[in-house]
A and B are shown apart, each in its own frame.
Chain A
Amino acid sequence: MRGVHYAVGGRPIFAGVDVQVRRGRITAIMGPSGTGKTTLLKLITAQIAADRGEVRVFGEDLAALSRGGIYALRKRMGMLFQNGALLTDMDVFENVAFPVREHTDLPEALIHKLVLTKLQAVGLRGAAGLMPGELSGGMARRVALARAIVLDPEVLIYDEPFVGLDPISLGVILRLIKHMNEAPGITSIVVSHDVRELATIADHSYLLSGGRVAAAGPPAQLRASDSAAVQQFMTGSADGPVAFHYPAPDYAAQLFTADE
């Protein structure tokens, strides 16, 4: 991404963001809530278009692609949604088989084997017959991961993969992200605000703040940064460049006005 500007209803989300994701590495996109981390993923997957600037995926300019071209590009990506986004009218097996059935003409026997292999990789082969409503949050995310990798994508995108998970599920997801990236040529983009978890797996990271990239580099380098914004985020301070108080009129004046 180069010089990307994006605004919603006149409110700027990005004001000149530059992000480069290298092949075969795990890149973390971090930042406080509301800084546009998920918006960045939407730009990469062409769900939305940048107002200005350039977004290139696999070397192709997304703005120049037709709908068919974008769909062809998306077939080379796999995305894990925050809540899993499993199709609720299908069981686990059919959810994982869904992209295969849609995009290939593989015989049923081969689809069966392929899906079981992917479910085995996320440890949920035994849950193939369960419906999404019967899964825990961590299990749903693992099924969604199996679905994301079923067509062996070149890029795996994770949107807040650690949110709301218990320590065991979190450890499992962390291990899986690391494991998935070990396949040759796989590139991973992880969007999250869980600094500690990301530090254990990310090769490179970007910290978004105020519509720009506030810092970039390996997580250890970010932790050593002397920037106040970076330090506030990395240490989790309540006050700093991102203020504790939402902008408001003078406190005392407002209290007196209320009395009157």
Chain B
Amino acid sequence: MNQRGGDGFILEGVRRLGAVTIFLVRLLLECVPALGRPRLLVHQIYNAGARSLIIIMLSGLFVGMVLGLQAFNLLQRFGSEEALGTAAALGLLKELSPVITALLFAGRAGTALTSEIGLMRATDQLTAMEVMAVDPLRHVAAPRFLGGVVAMPLLAVIFSVIGLYGAQLVGVQLMGVDKGVFWSQMQGSVGLHDVTEGVVKSLVFGVACSLIAVHEGYHAEPTAEGVGLATTRTVVASSVITLLLDYVLTAAFL
């Protein structure tokens, strides 16, 4: 009985993975014509990116400040406070910025995407498009997906910049690390590949989180409860997939 239940669970997982993959392929095919509509695309980048700026900047500042404090405390034990700039930069660029930005993106922009598309489904707007011979995948899903993919790396970069400022604020202004040492150490030991790692990660997270948000909204049950459940699934799935992908990408970059 348990064996059968386990098989069913695996089969359902494989079925869902297959469905999402087919959806991704269809979405990517529709992204090409969507690129020809810059107004629609810019609007979605604004929705997913600009509207997430405040939460990203605030979080970046606080995460940077905490990182500065913790790293200073740790490095002080070994008499290496001057390495604070390097520690903060590597921590932020390679790990914290892409991961936390993705988690915040899933909670802010991802849920907004899912509920918006889900409500469009529930109020027959997507069906109306279909009947008007307009493919909703091209008009609704593809621009929103692209908007999320473009916005995520930009948000992660902004998170890193604000985070570094936060770390500097605590390390240099509060704890008294030399300003010149802080920046020069960072400049000397952070390479382009470290920045690239962070950008690639955020790009992959952008694809994953936007895909999940759009897919869940597009396939939401057309009821209030269905849209609510889809929104919850977006946050849970995006968070877990982000952390899983983070491990895979970190291992790949080592």
Judge if A125 is at the interface, Cβ distance under 8 Å: no
Q: Are B125 and A102 in contact (CB-based, < 8 A)? A: no
From B17-25, B88-96, B127-135, B245-253, the one touching the partner chain is: B127-135
Q: Mark B29-50, 1 if CB is under 8 A from A, else 0.
A: 0000000000000000000000
| Chain B residues within 8 Å of A77, by CB | 131
What residues of chain A lie closer than 8 Å to B128, measured between beta carbons?
A: 79, 81, 85-87
Docked CA distance A74–B135 (Å): 12
- Bound together, the chains give a CA A99 to CA B139 distance in angstroms of 12
Q: How far is the CB of A132 from chain B (nearest CB, A)?
A: 10
**CA gap between A88 and B119 in the complex, in Å:** 10
B134 lies within 8 A of A88 (CB): no
Give the Cβ gap from B226 to chain A, nearest Cβ, in Å: 17
What count of chain A residues pass the 8 Å CB interface test?
20
CA distance A103 to B134 in the complex (A): 8
A86 to B129, CA, bound (A): 10
What is the CA–CA distance of A201 and B15 in the complex, to the nearest angstrom? 49
Q: For chains A and B in complex, what number of residue pairs have CB atoms within 8 angstroms?
A: 48
Tell whether B187 is near chain A: CB-to-CB under 8 Å: no
A186 to B128, CA, bound (A): 20
* B58-109 at interface with A (beta carbon < 8 Å): none
Nearest A residue (CB) for B124: A85
CB-CB < 8 A to A88: which residues of B? 119-120, 123, 125
Closest to B132 in A: A99
How far apart are the CA atoms of A79 and B133 in the complex, in Å? 11
Cβ contact within 8 Å between B133 and A81: no
Q: Closest approach, in angstroms, between the C-beta of B41 and any C-beta of chain A?
A: 15
Contact B133 A103 (CB under 8 A): yes
Mask of A68-95 contacts with B, CB within 8 angstroms, 1/0: 0001101101010111011110000000
Query: Which residue of A47, A83, A102 is within 8 Å of B132 (Cβ)?
Result: A102
Instruction: List the B side residues contacting A79 at CB < 8 Å.
Output: 128, 131-132
Contacts A71-B133, A103-B133 aside, 5 further interface pairs with beta carbons under 8 A come to: A71-B135, A74-B131, A79-B131, A86-B128, A102-B139
